[in-house]
Chains A and B, each alone.
Chain A
Amino acid sequence: MFKYFKEKKQKLLRFLFGTFSFTALMFAFQACYGMPERPFETVVQGKVTDMETNDPIQGLQVSSDIGFTTTTNEKGIFIDPIGLRTIYEWGEYHITVTDIDSTENGSYETFDTVVWALDFTQPIELQVKKVSDAQ
């Protein structure tokens, strides 16, 4: 319980001090003989569209090894349910789009892609391919 309140207080203080210092990266630091690190906070979000028609697709499952699974809404938009999260700028993450509602909104192939951490600062555009009739 003590730890919980300390962590909440830590977030609040970082926010307050960051706001008044006009720097959002207050909690980033580096040792004087070390290399830099710059974790940043963002809300991971994006849009899934049909590769051929560019139409948004509802009901697809979007998951990432950054730690979330969610589904797209009627505008094809997905938002990380965690909300604001800290991301450490180190390299790549996987995003997988899976059609979980069968043929309700069309049938789409599972799509897997790699994005760099910094890409999460912008909405991610993903395009998926319809399962062909032959399949």
Chain B
Amino acid sequence: MSVFKRFLFRVFRKNETEIHELSYLFWECTWRCNLACRHCGSDCKAEAQTADMPFADFLHALEPLEKRYPRDKVIIAITGGEPLLRADLADCGRTLRQHGFRWGIVTNGMLYDEARHCELVAASLSSITVSLDGLEETHNWLRQHPQSFQRALRALRIIANDPHLIYDVVTCVHRRNLKELPQLKELLIANGVRHWRLFTIAPIGRAAGDRELMLSRAQVEEMLLFIAETRKEGRIDLKFSCEAYTGKYEEEVRDSYFFCRAGINIGSVLLNGDISACPNIDRSFRQGNIYKDNLLDVWDNCFQEMRDRNWMRCGMCASCGDFKQCLGGAMHLRPAHGEPIQRCYNFRLHG
């Protein structure tokens, strides 16, 4: 059965890649952030040198998408920096909705209170992710702010109690919070949270040189076993993110097999207007710029290096028997085109 499922999955993935519908578009609206975490996918700053992107510029870039795709088909993931720092966030969301796009945000929760929640939901916010990286001391250590845990907890309590929102809580697993996961699980359940997602910290951005944040082989396995056991319990919907192929754990740690959809269904408009896939992918993979190019033309005609990933068969992937199943892992772990993957959990677990 498993062999057949994997075969069917590969056929399914090939077809999804050939069609490559753009259904998930990041908008990196700001580089400003009210935290300075030890880890950050975007490596943003408290006082960003680059100004926020004017919403009108982004909306103009979306025009061809609005004509191509049916209403509701595309969701806009507003990210940063910290999107709640934009005073016009609700106005942006409301306008996106009027143009037929669904929208959501990824936030650290610092500024998320009842008033902001009501404002955003009234502007048709549909989906939200809040980061919680451990129990109080550990979370505050990673986020480098003494109130960050309490603020994040306040946010997720509000969100988890709103039946109209799709949400999840994400936790970056590292050496300090690995042992806290069982307690964190109980804390989330006690606060009404039903959807939880774990990922590990990639050696990119400002976390690249911080060994304290990277898990050892045994620790990765411990985390995956925790996910598998929690899923069996069924008390909370826990999954491992799409960051990595996990070999023999694939069917135990998430709903489906690993599938990096960067450039296949996921695109992004970055702060400077660059068009790429996920914002945490190396900026050398940019495919165009909204100030010069038509977003839809770029989506239709570029992104070949993400849709044909045979070039990824290098480094530790060159002789790996699982390549046809994982297709070289996640794009954000490639420092540049032609470069080997920076980290592979399958290799570390079974290699």
Interface residues in chain A, defined as those with a beta carbon under 8 Å from any beta carbon in chain B: 6-7, 9-10, 13-14, 16-17, 20-21, 23, 25-26, 29-38, 88-91, 116, 118
Q: Decide: A29 and B127 in contact? CB cutoff 8 A.
A: no
**A/B interface sample: 12 pairs, CB < 8 A:** A6-B18, A16-B12, A17-B9, A20-B5, A23-B256, A25-B255, A29-B242, A31-B278, A34-B79, A35-B166, A90-B75, A116-B164
Asked if B280 CB lies within 8 Å of chain A CBs, one says yes
Chain A residues whose C-beta falls within 8 Å of the C-beta of B163 in the assembled complex: 116, 118
For the complex with contacts A32-B242, A89-B166, A91-B97, 20 further pairs of A-B residues with Cβ separation under 8 Å are A10-B16, A10-B19, A13-B12, A20-B4, A20-B8, A21-B5, A21-B9, A23-B255, A23-B256, A30-B242, A31-B77, A32-B243, A32-B280, A36-B129, A36-B195, A37-B166, A88-B73, A90-B102, A90-B126, A91-B126
A36 to B241, CA, bound (A): 11
Q: Decide: B242 and A88 in contact? CB cutoff 8 A.
A: no
Chain B residues whose C-beta falls within 8 Å of the C-beta of A25 in the assembled complex: 255
Contact A17 B278, CB 8 Å, known A32-B330, A36-B129: no
Chain B residues whose C-beta falls within 8 Å of the C-beta of A90 in the assembled complex: 72, 75, 97, 102, 124, 126-127
Chain A residues whose C-beta falls within 8 Å of the C-beta of B256 in the assembled complex: 21, 23, 26, 29
Q: Decide: A31 and B15 in contact? CB cutoff 8 A.
A: no
What residue of chain A has the Cβ atom nearest to residue B243's Cβ? A32
A13 to B259, CA, bound (A): 15
Which residues of chain B in 94-121 are interfacial with respect to chain A, using CB atoms and an 8 Å cutoff?
A: 97, 102, 104-106
Q: Decide: A37 and B127 in contact? CB cutoff 8 A.
A: yes
Chain B residues whose C-beta falls within 8 Å of the C-beta of A23 in the assembled complex: 255-256
A14 to B8, CA, bound (A): 10
Asked if B168 CB lies within 8 Å of chain A CBs, one says yes
A9 to B19, CA, bound (A): 10
Asked if B265 CB lies within 8 Å of chain A CBs, one says yes
Asked if B245 CB lies within 8 Å of chain A CBs, one says no
State which of A16, A20, A35 has its C-beta within 8 Å of the C-beta of B128: A35
Asked if B199 CB lies within 8 Å of chain A CBs, one says yes
Chain B residues whose C-beta falls within 8 Å of the C-beta of A20 in the assembled complex: 1, 4-5, 8
Asked if B266 CB lies within 8 Å of chain A CBs, one says yes
Chain B residues whose C-beta falls within 8 Å of the C-beta of A35 in the assembled complex: 77, 104-106, 127-129, 166-168
What's the minimum C-beta distance from B40 to chain A, rounded to whole angstroms? 10
What's the minimum C-beta distance from B131 to chain A, rounded to whole angstroms? 10
A32 to B26, CA, bound (A): 12
What residue of chain A has the Cβ atom nearest to residue B101's Cβ? A90
A25 to B241, CA, bound (A): 16
A17 to B105, CA, bound (A): 30
State which of A14, A21, A29, A89 has its C-beta within 8 Å of the C-beta of B24: A29
Asked if B11 CB lies within 8 Å of chain A CBs, one says yes
What's the minimum C-beta distance from B49 to chain A, rounded to whole angstroms? 22
Asked if B203 CB lies within 8 Å of chain A CBs, one says no
A13 to B11, CA, bound (A): 8
What residue of chain A has the Cβ atom nearest to residue B242's Cβ? A32
Chain B residues whose C-beta falls within 8 Å of the C-beta of A14 in the assembled complex: 12
Chain B residues whose C-beta falls within 8 Å of the C-beta of A26 in the assembled complex: 12, 255-256
State which of A9, A29, A32, A33 has its C-beta within 8 Å of the C-beta of B265: A29
Chain B residues whose C-beta falls within 8 Å of the C-beta of A29 in the assembled complex: 24, 242, 256, 259, 261, 265
A14 to B21, CA, bound (A): 14
Q: Decide: A30 and B24 in contact? CB cutoff 8 A.
A: yes
What's the minimum C-beta distance from A13 to chain B, rounded to whole angstroms? 4
Contact A36 B12, CB 8 Å, known A6-B19, A89-B126, A91-B124: no
Asked if B334 CB lies within 8 Å of chain A CBs, one says no
What's the minimum C-beta distance from B272 to chain A, rounded to whole angstroms? 18
A69 to B4, CA, bound (A): 42
Q: Decide: B8 and A17 in contact? CB cutoff 8 A.
A: yes
State which of A10, A16, A32, A88 has its C-beta within 8 Å of the C-beta of B241: A32
